[in-house]
Amino acid sequence: MSSGFVESQRVFMKAQTLSIGELAKRSGLATSNIRFYEARGLIRDVKRQANGYRSYPLQAVRILELIKCAQQAGFTLEELSLLLPGDEFNASRHAELIASLELKVQQIEDMQIKLEHNKTKLLAVIERVKARPEGMTCETQADQVLDYLREDTQL
β-partners of residue 56 are 18
What angle separates helix 59-72 from helix 31-39, to the nearest 10 degrees? 90
Q: Is the pLDDT of residue 5 over 50?
A: no
Residue 43 is classified by DSSP as S
Q: Is residue 114 part of a domain?
A: yes
Structural domain for 2, as ranges? 1-73
The CA distances from residue 69 to 40, 72, 80, in Å, are: 17, 5, 10
Higher pLDDT, 143 or 87: 143
| DSSP H or E run through 9 | helix 3-15
Q: Is residue 79 part of a domain?
A: no
Is-contact 18 60, C-beta < 8 A? yes
From 73, 25, 16, 11, select the one nearest 45 (Cα to Cα).
16
Q: How many domains does the chain have?
A: 2
Lowest mean pLDDT among 20-34, 35-49, 65-79, 88-102: 88-102
In a shared domain, residues 125 and 61: no
Q: Is residue 115 part of a domain?
A: yes
Is-contact 35 20, C-beta < 8 A? yes
Please state the pTM of the whole predicted model: 0.63
